[in-house]
Amino acid sequence: MTEFDTVIRNAVVGTAADLFSADIGITGGVVTALGRNLGPARRDIDAAGRWVLPGGIDTHCHLDQPMRTGVTLADDFLSGTISAAHGGTTTIVPFAAQVHGSGVRAAVDDYHRRAAGKPVIDYAFHLIVSDPTEAVLRDELPGLIREGYTSFKIYMTYEMLKLNDRQIIAVLAVARREGALVMVHAENSDCIAWLTEQFEAAGQTAPYYHALSRPLAVEREGTHRAITMAEIVDVPILLVHVSGAEAVEQIRWAQGRGLRIYAETCPQYLVLTADDLKAPGFEGAKFVCSPPPRDAQSQQAVWNGLASGVFHTFSSDHSPFRFDDPAGKKRFGADAPFTKIPNGVPGIETRLPILLSEGVHQGRIDLATFVRLTATNPAKMYGLYPRKGTIAVGSDADVVIWDQDRDVTITNDMLHHNCDYTPYEGMRLRGWPAVVLSRGEVVVEEDKLLAEPGQGQFVRCDRPAVVRPRARTTAEPPVKR
C-alpha cells in the first residue's frame, strides 16, 4: 500500500540546528515522516548527496506596489513569485502599502485583488503605515493584526511615506499593546534633504551622488532614534535593510543592553558598493537603492553581524524597476538627476544563491546560520513558525533540493523576473536550487517551472513570539491601555 505522496530519499537535511541524513516523507503537503528507508510513495525524488533545506522565506519584497505617477514596479505577483521560486524561495511576505489619505484596510483589500490568481508560492502581507490617523491606530490596525497581518513597516524618510517621531511612537504603542512587529526604515530625512540640496546646487546630480546624499551617519542616526523610541515604548522593532557599519554598531550596542532590537540585511549590502553607482553614463542608476550600497568596511561589518547573530533575517528588498524603460529607472530620462531615479534593485531570485555561495561556500557563515537567516528566523519573526521555516514533522513541505556545487554565472537572461537587468550580472556563484517544492508540490525542477498561477495560498501570520509583552523592568508604561 502506498504510504506517502512523495518521499525525498537520501537527503542531507539542513535545519537551523542540525545537518543529518534522512528520507523526507510528505503527505497532503505536509512533512509526515523523517527517517531512514521510508516506505513506498507515489513519487520518489532521489536527493543523494544534495543539501535539502527549508524553502526560503523572503520577508522583504515589493510586488505590484503602486509608485509615483508614471513609474511601475517590474514584477507583479506572478512574475515575482515565479522568480522567487526559481531562486529557492517558497514563501514571500511583500507589502500592502497604505496610500496617504486612505485606510490600511483599503490597502489590504487592494493587494489581495492584485495577488488574486497569480502567486505560484505562498504569501502573506506586511502593512506599510504611512498615515497613522486616529481611525487607523484605534480600529484598523488592531483589527488587521487579529486577522493575520501582524507586522508593519514605517518610514523615517520619503516624502509620501515618512512619519514624524510622535507618529512613530503612536504606531509603536499600538504594536506593543496588540503584539505586532514594527519594521523601521531608518534614515534621517532632513539630513538627506539638506545634503541633496547641496549637491543639486553644485550640479552634482549623477547617480553616484545618491549614495553621497545618504551617508552612514544618516542611517546611524535614524537607527539610534528608532532604537530609542522602541526603548521608551518598550516594544521590539526590526530595522530593515541595514547597510552601514555604523548602523550595525548601533544595533549591536542596543542588543548588548538587552533591548529587543532585531535586524535585517540584504544581498546588495554584501556584494555591491557605492562605487557601482559610478558606472559610466546612466548605468549607475541600476544600483540606486536606499540605503545605498556602502564600502568594503561596511560589507565586512554586515558579514560579521550575520555570523554573530546581530542580524536575524536576510531578505531581498526586491524592488525592481526596469532600466531601459520610461516607466522604470529612466522615467525622467537617461540623464535624470539622482533625485528622480526610482529607488530599488531586483534580487528576489538571486538572494539565496548569493548567500549560499558568498556566505556558506566562502566559509563566512555555516549552513545552519544560512537556514536560520533565510527561513527559520523569518518564519519566527513574522508568526509563520513552525508551519513554515523548517523541515520537521507537521511543517508544510516547503523544501529546496540544492545542487550545492553547481557553477553558475549570473546573467539577466537566466532569471525569471520581469526586470531587464540584474545588478549581479557576471557574478560567479557556487550552488543553485535544483528542485523546489511548495507544500509537497514540485514547483521548479532543473530550471523548469511546474507550478500554475494561483497555486500559492495566502497565509495568515500569528502574533510573533518575539513581540509578546514582557514584564516592565522600569516605570509603568507610558502607554494608554
By CB under 6 A, name the binding residues for ligand URP: 62, 185, 241, 289-290, 317, 319, 343-344
Residue 96 touches which of ligand URP, Zn ion, none (CB < 5 to 8 A by kind)?
none
Q: Residue 393's CB: how many other CB atoms inside 10 A?
A: 13
111-116 contacts at long range (C-beta below 8 A, 24 or more positions apart): 111/64, 112/458, 114/63, 114/64, 114/76, 114/77, 115/63, 115/64, 115/77, 115/458, 116/454
402's enclosing H/E stretch is strand 399-409
Binding partner of 81, given ligand URP, Zn ion, none, CB within 5-8 angstroms per partner class:
none
Residue 185 beta carbon to ligand URP: minimum distance, rounded to whole angstroms: 5
Which DSSP helix (H) or strand (E) runs through 350? Answer: none
**Minimum distance from residue 381 beta carbon to ligand URP (Å):** 17
Q: How far is the CB of 264 from ligand URP (least distance, A)?
A: 10
Q: State yes or no: residue 75 binds Zn ion (CB under 5 A).
A: no
| H helix or E strand, kind and range, residue 216 | helix 216-233
Indicate which of ligand URP, Zn ion, none lies near residue 350 (CB less than 5 to 8 Å, by partner kind): none
* DSSP string across 147-200: TT--EEEEESSSTTTB--HHHHHHHHHHHHHHT-EEEEE---HHHHHHHHHHHH
Rg (CA), the chain: 22
Instruction: Pick between residue 157 and residue 298 the one whose CB is nearest to Zn ion.
Output: 157
Closest CB to ligand URP among residues 95, 385:
95
Residue closer to ligand URP by CB (options 141, 183) is 183
Rounded least distance, CB 344 to ligand URP, Å: 3
Q: Which positions from 167 through 186 interact with Zn ion, judged by CB under 5 A?
A: 185
How many other C-beta atoms can be found within 10 angstroms of the C-beta atom of residue 328?
23
d(CA 282, CA 337): 10
| CB-nearer residue toward ligand URP: 290 or 313 | 290
Between 246 and 317, name the residue whose CB sits nearer to Zn ion: 317
343 binds, among Zn ion, ligand URP, none (CB under 5 to 8 A by kind): ligand URP
Judged by CB under 5 A, the chain residues 183 through 222 that form the site for Zn ion are 185
CB of 222 to Zn ion, least distance (A): 11
Q: Which amino acid is at 73?
A: L
Instruction: Kindly state the smallest distance separating residue 472's Cβ from ligand URP, in Å.
Output: 32
d(CA 36, CA 21): 8
Indicate whether 64 belongs to the interface with Zn ion (CB under 5 A): no
Least distance between ligand URP and beta carbon 193 (Å): 16
How far, rounded to the nearest angstrom, does the alpha carbon of residue 182 sit from its chain's CA centroid? 14
Closest residue to Zn ion, Cβ-based? 185
Give 177 or 214: the residue with its C-beta nearer to ligand URP.
214
- Residue 289 interface partner, choices ligand URP, Zn ion, none, CB cut-off 5-8 Å depending on type: ligand URP
Is the CB of 67 or the CB of 399 nearer to ligand URP?
67
> Is residue 445 packed enough to be buried (19+ CB in 10 Å), middle (13-18) or exposed (0-12)?
middle
Minimum CB distance to Zn ion smaller for 41 or for 184? 184
Which triple of cell numbers denotes residue 183? 519594521
Residue 290 or 422 with smaller CB distance to ligand URP: 290
We find the least distance from the C-beta atom of residue 255 to ligand URP, in angstroms, to be 23
- In the bound state with ligand URP, the residue whose beta carbon lies nearer, of 120 and 289, is 289
**Exposed, middle or buried, 37 (CB in 10 Å: 0-12/13-18/19+)?**
exposed
Nearest-approach distance from CB 345 to Zn ion, in angstroms: 10
Q: Smallest gap, in angstroms, from Cβ of residue 210 to ligand URP? A: 10
DSSP character string of 241-258? S---HHHHHHHHHHHHTT
> Of 342, 355, 372, 207, which is closest to residue 271 (Cα–Cα)?
355
Binding segment toward Zn ion, per CB under 5 A, in 8-16, 76-84, 309-317, 472-480: 309-317
Q: How many residues bind Zn ion (CB under 5 A)?
A: 2
For ligand URP, the closer CB: 265 or 357: 265
Residue 32 interface partner, choices ligand URP, Zn ion, none, CB cut-off 5-8 Å depending on type: none
Given its phi and psi angles, is residue 389 left (phi above 0), alpha (psi -120 to 50 degrees) or beta?
left
Return the residues of window 311-340 that contact Zn ion according to CB under 5 A.
317
**Closest-CA residue to 191 (of 213, 209, 223):** 213
Of these partners, Zn ion, ligand URP, none, which one is at the site of residue 5 (CB under 5 to 8 Å by kind)?
A: none
**Interior CA angle at 12 toward 304 and 42, to 5°?**
135
Residues contributing to the site for Zn ion (CB under 5 A)? 185, 317
